Amino acid sequence: MKERVSKMTRYEVKKVFAKTSSKIAVMLLLFVMGITCFFALDITYVDENGSTREGLAAVSGLKAAQKEWAGCLDEEKIRKVIAENRRIQNTPEALAQDITQKEIAYSWGQGIKEIRNLLNCAYAKGLREYDYYLADSLTEEDAADFYRNRTRLLREWLEGEAKDQFTDEEKEYLIGQYGRMDTPLYYDYMEGWQQLFKFAPTVVMLTMLILGYLVAGIFSNEFAWRSDAVLFSSFYGRNKAVTSKIKAGFCVVTAVYSAVFTIYTGIVLLYLGTDGWNLPIQSSWISWKCFYNITNLQKYLFIIGGGYVGCLFLSFLSMLVSVKTRSAVPAVMVPVLVIFIPSFIANIGSPFVNKIIGLLPDQLLQAGEALNYFNLYSVGGRITGELPVILILYTILTIVILPVLYQTYRRMQIG
Amino acid sequence: MELKLTNLTKEFKDITAVRNISYTMSTGVYGLLGVNGAGKTTLMRMLCTLLKPSGGSITWNGADIFEMDGEYRKILGYLPQDFGFYPDFTVYDYLMYTASIKGLRPVTAKQRIKILLRQVGMEKTAHKKMKKLSGGMKRRVGIAQAMLGNPQILILDEPTAGLDPSERVRFRNLISELADERLVLLSTHIVSDIEYIAGEILLMKAGEIRAAGTSRELIAEMPEQVWSVAAAKEEIDFYMQAYKVSNIKTTRQGAELRIISSDKPAECAVLEEATLEDLFLDYFGERTGEQNDEI
């Protein structure tokens, strides 16, 4: 029995990939993946002569420069970075008008580039402000306030601009989360992870669009090909054959998604290195304000996991639409609409709308970005961020879609 | 082995496609004859559990076929009128997949496919893609898939539609070969197909079975007679308008007309032996055509 079912599933998968248009879609995915990887690996390093290096030479140059400053970001280290930055900014090369001289000055600061960005965040006038040149105006005496400022800026924001956006419990939760960050942070080279995070939403969304196309026809092509009559008049046509289609959808999503992320992760990390996998995400200025206390690896797992749940949910939703409409065309549009419509609603900008937007499935496709949002939800009396909520919510919704999909398809009448 | 239709009715929004049909079938070949829109396809789709009746019932050996669910479909083979397939599958892959949804174990499926491909003369094209097959070849694959589960009930909807004469003859012979020890119901609007294969003929019109029986019985019960009339050229129009003319054969003097009428149409008219084609014309008038729609 099992053998027959898996055989059916294999043929269902074969139906998907045997189509010329599917082959083109997969080729397109690989092509755009290639371009994305090209951009992700596009690292530059300026040497002591002011010449720009690219490729592996740039990676090793940048790595060596940043490794020189690796270690705990304690007060002493912050003090040294502030001093070094000021020293560089006051050199004749930095003050010169000549581009090459400026590039030479820039080359000296590449080792502390990321810490300099952290300083810009930590000493900003407000939580949501950023001034690229702020670090240049700091003195060594400011070093002591580095971590304190983070919580202070949050408090000021919660009491000012965002005072009506959160309940008192939510405010306490955020401050508590900030307080739970392990200090001092550790600094190290982590370009591999930063580049992975940067291009992951593009990879997930692109994969979703292609998956949407691939799975949209699993059910509805039976109508388009007019093979529905033979299918539904067969012994397993209204039970196991339907299950095998659902399994095929699951297999296609899982296989394509896994392949894409194995290739993407493998290429980027092999090229740029895995250093920094266990560092807190706040070690990078992009996540300095983030209230989730997780490491780079954990963040990446959230991105992969969120993307996978999002792809599964949207794929099965597409399949359901294709069954209801008996056509793959509206089904293909589902991921497109889900990805692009929230960006229009987002412009409204009210806190309530933000909470709703935070629960939309597109957030799963950009889980790395979602980690930076201050969207909080109270679930069973416990306050939590949006990512755990949508991960659980859409896992449940995906499971709920399956029996609906099964029952709707098996009851189809062929007139 | 009994397939029983009791007061079977199928209504769509504003049309009744099948109206109160009661009929019982057992082993043998049944030919469903009717013009386009007579309700043949709708009736067959109900027999294949693809459509649920609006009223009445269909039972197999006393059990409701819709309640039997998979157990009924297990003994069913169906070749739809517009036989669809997976264009990028090879013939072999298509049959292997169909075998799996029909519940055949892979080992059995392989043996069965080998036999059927030989039977339908498709052994050499087993690894050709379905989309590259000719119309006749596709129909042959269609009959092979219908026969995969060695069904007790074989339903063939317009199996010879669109085939050239030699393919049609070949197909008719194939159906006759396969008809042994099972119930075969085939629909067509091509009289000669039914005449050669079917033991029992069901004449369907406007959703109802108007008459049923063997070819000989139906012809014997024909309410009108068939006449041969030698007519001058200028008389042809008159006969065409006044009578049902089943055939016109041009001669030097004018034409020899085959007329269906209860009265003698002319003094010179000669009584002829009726054929199934005459019967078809008698029941369905002038409404003959090449295509069958899907009401």
Mapped onto helix, strand or coil, the DSSP state of residue A289 is coil
Phi, psi of A101, deg, nearest 5:
-60, -40
Give phi and psi for A185, each to the nearest 5.
Answer: -70, 165
Residues of A with Cβ-Cβ distance to B84 under 8 angstroms: 222, 225-230
Maximum distance among all alpha carbons in chain A? 85
Report in angstroms the alpha-carbon separations of B107 from B76, B111, B141. 21, 7, 20
> How far is the C-alpha of A395 from the C-alpha of B85, rounded, in Å?
35
All residues of chain A having their beta carbon less than 8 Å from the beta carbon of residue B100 are 4, 7-8, 11, 236
Interior CA angle at B202 toward B200 and B205, to 5°? Answer: 170
CB contact under 8 A, A4 and B106: yes
| pLDDT reading at A64 higher than 90 | yes
Which residues have CB under 8 Å from B263's CB, separation 6+? none
Q: Which residues contact A405 (CB under 8 A, 6 or more apart)?
A: A219, A246, A316, A319, A320, A323
Over 80: is that where the pLDDT of B290 sits? Answer: no
The pLDDT score that the predictor gives to residue A338 is: 87
Tell me the per-residue pLDDT of A22-62, one tens digit each, with 9 for 90 and over: 999 999 999 999 999 999 999 999 998 889 999 999 999 99
Amino acid identity for residue B113 in this structure: I
Q: Which of A22, A223, A230, A236 to mutate to test the interface with B (most CBs of B within 10 A)?
A: A230
Q: Measured over all CA atoms, what is the biggest interatomic distance in chain B, rounded to whole angstroms?
A: 70
Instruction: Give the pLDDT of residue A5.
Output: 58
Instruction: Tokens for A397, please give them.
Output: 């919704």
Q: What is the pLDDT of residues B6-19, one digit of tens each?
A: 999 999 988 999 99
Q: Which of A64, A105, A39, A9 is nearest to B101 (CA)?
A: A9
Q: Which residue from B49, B84, B145 is facing A225, i.e. has the nearest CB?
A: B84
b/e map A154-184, b = 16+ CB within 10 Å: beebbeeebeebbeeebbebbeebbeebeee
- Residue B295, pLDDT > 50, answer no
Q: Using DSSP, state whether B201 is helix, strand or coil.
A: strand
**Residues of chain B neighbouring A247 (CB-CB closer than 8 A):** none
For chain A, the C-alpha Rg in angstroms (whole number) is 25
Give the pLDDT confidence score for residue A2 in this predicted structure. 57
- Three-class secondary structure of residue B225 per DSSP: strand
Q: Nearest chain B Cα to A23, which residue?
A: B88
Check CB contact under 8 Å for A18 and B88: yes
**pLDDT band (50, 70, 90) for residue B286:** low
Nearest CA in chain B to A7: B100
CB atoms A233 and B102 under 8 Å: no
Mean pLDDT over A303-307 rounds to 96
Predicted local distance difference test score (pLDDT) of residue A8: 93
pTM for this predicted structure: 0.89
Best CA proximity match to B161, nearest among B7, B16, B294 = B294
Q: Which residues of chain B make contact with A235, given a CB cutoff of 8 A?
A: 70, 73-74, 101-103, 149
Q: How far is B50 from chain A (nearest CA, A)?
A: 5
Determine whether the interchain pair A238/B70 forms a contact, defined as Cβ–Cβ distance below 8 Å: yes
Q: What secondary structure, in 3-state letters, does B142-184 show?
A: HHHHHHCCCCCEEEEECCCCCCCHHHHHHHHHHHHHHCCCCEE
Probe site for chain A from B15, B54, B97 (most A CB atoms < 10 A): B97
Residues of B in CB contact (< 8 Å) with A are: 12, 42, 45, 48-52, 69-70, 73-74, 76, 78, 80, 82-89, 93, 96-98, 100-106, 145, 149, 294
- Are the C-beta atoms of A17 and A26 separated by less than 8 Å? yes
Contacts of B74 in chain A (CB under 8 A): 235
C-alpha dihedral sign at A288, A294, A298, A304: negative
Mean pLDDT of all residues in A67-86 = 93
Kindly indicate whether the ipTM for this predicted assembly is greater than 0.85, answering yes or no: yes
Judge whether A230 is closer than 8 Å to chain B, CB to CB: yes
CB of A228 within 8 Å of a chain B CB? The answer is yes
More confident residue, A354 or A14: A14
